[in-house]
A and B are shown apart, each in its own frame.
Chain A
C-alpha cells in the first residue's frame, strides 16, 4: 500500500477555515514514457481524489498525467463541528487507497 501523509490542523476553532494537506506516494506514470526496450510504459495515475466529512463530499479532484509523481493536494474546509474526514485516492489499475483523519473543533 502506498504511504500517505495527511495534515489536519490540531487546534481548530468553530467556523475557522482550515487548510488540509495530503500527500500520497504514487509513480503517476504518464503513459508517454518508453522503457529501455522501446515499449511504452502503460499509463497508471491516480485519476480521482475525493474527500468526505462525515459522509458529505467536501472536495474532489479529477487528475491528469500533468500532476507530479507522489501527488500533493491541499484544499480548504470551514470547520463547523468535530468529525471524521475520509480521503480516497483512485488509480487506473482500479486500486483505491482510503485513509481517515480526525477533525477536532473546539
Chain B
C-alpha cells in the first residue's frame, strides 16, 4: 500500500485533534458529574494559569481566577479543580464568599503525568463555568521510587 507524505500527515493531524476528547478518563468525568449534578457547564469567565511545560510534577504553581463582581447578589461560591491522570481526579475545591473582593486562588499541585486540568466555577445562583488547560510534565510526581 502506498502512503504519501500528505496522507500520513493528514491522518496524524486528525488523530491528534480528536485525542483530547478520548483521553479524558472516566474517573474525572465521574468526579465532574458529581460536582455539576446534571447542570450545564458554559465555557468562559474562568481563567486557569499554569506553566505549559513543567519540569517537576511535585509542585506545579497554579492560579485560577474567575470574572465576577463578587457582590452579595452575584458572586462565585465554589471553584473546583480536576485532573485526569493522577490516582484521584480531585485536586481541590475552594469555597469563596463576597468578602473575597475578587475570585482568584493560587496553590501548588502534584501531577503524575502530562495532562489536562479542568477548572469549574459555580456562582451563588448555581451556574457553572468551565475551562481546561493542558500541560506537559517532564518529571512526574509519584515517580521518586
Q: Complex formed: what's the CA distance from A68 to B62 in Å?
A: 11
Cross-chain pair count, CB within 8 angstroms: 98
- Nearest B-chain residue to A56, judged by Cβ: B99
Give the size range of A's interface with the partner. Answer: 20 to 34
Given contacts A66-B109, A68-B108, contact A77 B95 (CB under 8 A): no
Q: CB-defined interface of A55-69 with B at 8 Å, one 1/0 digit per residue? A: 011111111111111
Contact between chains at B142 and A68 (CB < 8 Å): no
Does B118 make an interface contact (CB < 8 A)? no
Segment of B6-14, B45-53, B82-90, B124-132 in the binding face = B82-90
Q: A61 to B108, alpha carbons, bound, how many Å?
A: 13
Tell whether, in the assembled complex, residue B100 and residue A64 are in contact, meaning their CB atoms are under 8 Å apart: no
Bound-state Cα–Cα, A76 to B86, Å: 28
Name the residue among B86, B96, B108 with the largest chain A CB count within 10 angstroms: B108
Q: Which of chain B's residues has its CB closest to A23's CB?
A: B108
Can you sample 10 A-B contacts with CB below 8 Å? A58-B97, A58-B100, A61-B105, A62-B93, A64-B88, A65-B86, A71-B107, A72-B106, A75-B94, A78-B100
- Give chain A's interface residues, CB within 8 Å of chain B: 17-19, 21, 30, 32-34, 53, 56-69, 71-78
